[in-house]
């Protein structure tokens, strides 16, 4: 292996040569080569984007747009179904309330008819019992009047006898009956 020794003079000379040359990017002698590779690189990037990346992005965007459109259509359809269901619910509720009102009215009418029948039956029973009670009261009054007349006759007979008089039963009976009548 060969070794090279570098002296300080040689190092200085290399540094001066590099300083003269400047930056390689700004070396006008390499511009055509740099422009060629720039165009090649841009064309490769363009074709990669055009043939691979952009179709994938376009497909994803189309899928996304289709999904959004389908979701919006489904949401609109569900909204219409919800509105229809709400309308059907409200119609059923109104119908049920009307039916309930009819049932309540019919039940009230049935109850009123039953109540009227029960009142009529009770009135009949009360009238019958009142008539029976009135008859019984008349019997009691008649019995009491007879008992009063009998007691009055007996008392009058005893009083006449106590006062020392003699009275016959017919005259005492006639006097007590006349007095009781009025």
User: How many structural domains does the chain have?
Assistant: 1
Instruction: Report the run of H or E that residue 41 belongs to, with start and end.
Output: helix 31-48
Mean pLDDT value across residues 112-123: 93
Q: How many helices (H) and strands (E) does the chain have?
A: 4, 0
Q: State phi, psi for 20 to the nearest 5 degrees.
A: -65, -40
In this structure, what DSSP letter does residue 49 have?
I
| Confidence at residue 153, expressed as pLDDT on a 0 to 100 scale | 81
| 101 falls within a domain | yes
Handedness of CA 49, 51, 52, 55 (dihedral sign): positive
The domain in which residue 89 lies consists of 52-181
pTM of the model: 0.41
Q: Please state, in angstroms and rounded to a whole number, the distance separating the CA atoms of residues 70 and 62.
A: 12
3-state secondary structure of 27: coil
The chain-wide mean pLDDT, for the chain, equals 87
92 vs 16, more confident: 92
| 8 falls within a domain | no
| Structural contact between residues 21 and 27, judged by C-beta atoms closer than 8 angstroms | yes
**21 Cβ contact list (under 8 Å, min separation 6):** 27
The pair of three-digit structure tokens given for residue 132, joined into one six-digit string: 């029976």
18-57 pLDDT per residue, tens: 556 677 777 888 889 889 999 999 999 999 999 999 999 9
Give yes or no for residue 1 having a pLDDT over 50.
Answer: no
56-71 pLDDT per residue, tens: 999 999 999 999 999 9
| 90 falls within a domain | yes
| 177 falls within a domain | yes
136 vs 12, more confident: 136
70-114 pLDDT per residue, tens: 999 999 999 999 999 999 999 999 999 999 999 999 999 999 999
DSSP 57-119: HHHHHHHHHHHHHHHHHHHHHHHHHHHHHHHHHHHHHHHHHHHHHHHHHHHHHHHHHHHHHHH
């Amino acid at each position: 292996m060969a070794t090279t020794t570098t002296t300080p003079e040689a190092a200085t000379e290399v540094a001066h040569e590099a300083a003269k040359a400047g930056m390689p990017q700004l070396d006008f002698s390499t511009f055509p080569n740099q422009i060629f590779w720039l165009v090649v690189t841009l064309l490769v990037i363009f074709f990669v984007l055009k043939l691979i990346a952009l179709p994938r992005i376009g497909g994803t965007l189309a899928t996304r747009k289709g999904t959004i459109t389908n979701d919006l259509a489904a949401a609109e359809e569900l909204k219409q179904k919800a509105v229809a269901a709400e309308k059907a619910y409200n119609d059923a509720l109104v119908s049920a309330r009307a039916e309930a009102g009819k049932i309540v009215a019919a039940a009230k009418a049935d109850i009123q008819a039953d109540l009227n029948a029960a009142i009529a039956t009770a009135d009949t029973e009360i009238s019958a019992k009142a008539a029976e009670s009135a008859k019984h009261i008349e019997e009691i009054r008649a019995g009491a009047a007879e008992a009063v007349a009998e007691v009055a006759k007996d008392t009058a007979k005893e009083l006449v006898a106590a006062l020392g008089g003699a009275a016959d039963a017919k005259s005492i009976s006639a006097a007590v009956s006349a007095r009781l009548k009025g």
